[in-house]
Amino acid sequence: MTSATTLTAHNLTRLLRTTAPHAAVEGIGLDQIDGVRFDSDGSHLHTIATDRYTVAVARARLQAAGEPSEPFARTVHGHSLPTLRAWADAHRGEAVLTLTAEADHLVLTGPRGTLRIPAGSEEFFDWRKLVHTTLADRPADGPCTRWTSRLWERWQHAGHEITTWHAGDAKPLLVLGADFIGLQAPHRPAREQTRTTAEALDAWKASLGPDTGQRLDLATVVPDPSPREYPTATTVPQMSEELLRQTLNATLGLHGAPSSDPGAIAAYALSGVHAWSAYRLLKALLQADPDLATATVADLTDQLEDGAISEWAWEAATDAGHDPQQWITARAKDQAAKPTTAASP
């Protein structure tokens, strides 16, 4: 068997386009799922990505190239994905690309040259068992309703959290948010029958393999980041009180911190400034729009209880045009150059 895997540039770009948006972001302590997993079983190349909330799996049949290719699994981490996508996009769709797995790299060869990109072989969650569990736990003859995915983005402003109900095939999807209710009709293309979960399992049996009887759940298959303690205020008055308390605690701590510990002084000062700034902004928001202030605090409470605020902060920074990776790199260099006895904020 050969270690080379061959597919078209169109298929490679499709695999990356459909799965990369589901990858966990860098710098949040989830290196296992930071990036896209490339998993070849010799007949299909699969790409898998998850952020703990969603899982995306795409596959492409490999080009016939003489003897079958040897299976492999490698993870291309987030910082390398833009380079890989740019290299793939530079090729015409019908161009034939060859992927070769090395110990810690993927080597891609095509008409526009060769790209050798870092790719780890570290442990990854059992995505086959997870998908098999999800499909097998549904009634085998239950219909799979088709939806038009281009309409899903219309629900993003229905609320931070929405509730959905679906009565069954040919019935509309009911979407319920805060002071919002909506319906979406199923999409049923002409001359195409609705598939069942049994048919879906049959279509993917070459990729998923047989049912082992073991069960996995998305909520537990990927470990959460290290737990942290956050304020538990759930209302505007509680949040205001918590921020004022934090401001006073920080300023009192600042005056009591030993002058020989600059790290502790900086941490107290920064904590107090941020708490007071947040209080003033919350007070202004409450005066300008009480309903928006209440909804914002409720949304913030959910994020704090979830504990994944670094993920939202990373995405918010990226959406605002910043480069959070540069911040992390600069902070690491600063800590290495100036070690302190107390953790800096």
Which has the minimum average pLDDT: 40-44, 164-168, 187-191, 232-236? 187-191
- What pLDDT is attached to residue 111? 94
Provide long-range contacts, Cβ within 8 A and 24+ apart, for 233-239: 233/297, 233/301, 234/297, 234/298, 234/301, 235/294, 235/297, 236/282, 236/286, 236/290, 236/293, 236/294, 236/297, 239/282, 239/297, 239/300
Domains and CATH numbers, the chain: 4-118 (3.10.150.10), 145-193 (no CATH), 236-337 (no CATH)
Q: What is the pLDDT of residues 297-307, one digit of tens each?
A: 887 877 776 66
Q: What is the pLDDT of residues 225-282, one digit of tens each?
A: 555 555 567 788 888 888 888 888 888 877 776 766 777 788 888 888 888 898 899 8
The secondary structure of residue 152, as a DSSP letter, is G
Tell which residue, 152, 137, 144, has the closest CA to residue 218.
137
User: Is the pLDDT higher at 81 or at 328?
Assistant: 81
Mean pLDDT of 119-145: 83
**Host H or E run for residue 180:** strand 180-184
Q: Three-state DSSP class for 199?
A: helix
Q: What is the pLDDT of residues 187-217, one digit of tens each?
A: 866 445 557 788 888 888 888 887 777 777 7
**Calpha distance 117→280 (Å, rounded):** 48
**Sequence letter at residue 128:** R
**30 and 52 in contact (C-beta within 8 Å)?**
yes
pTM over 0.75: no
User: Is the pLDDT higher at 202 or at 83?
Assistant: 83
Q: Which two tokens stand for residue 338?
A: 């100036």
User: Is the pLDDT higher at 233 or at 296?
Assistant: 296
CA atoms within 13 A on the CB side of 25: 17
**265 and 290 in contact (C-beta within 8 Å)?**
no
**32 and 125 in contact (C-beta within 8 Å)?**
yes
Q: Give yes or no for residue 119 having a pLDDT over 90.
A: yes
Strand partners, 174: 165, 183
Q: Three-state DSSP class for 35?
A: coil
Q: Give yes or no for residue 26 having a pLDDT over 70.
A: no
- What pLDDT is attached to residue 325? 83
**Which residues have a Cβ under 8 Å from the Cβ of 115 and sit 6 or more positions away?**
83, 84, 87, 107, 108, 109
Cβ neighbours around 48 below 10 Å, total:
26
Q: What percent of the chain has pLDDT over 90?
A: 25
Mean pLDDT over the full length of the chain: 82
**Which residues have a Cβ under 8 Å from the Cβ of 266 and sit 6 or more positions away?**
344, 345
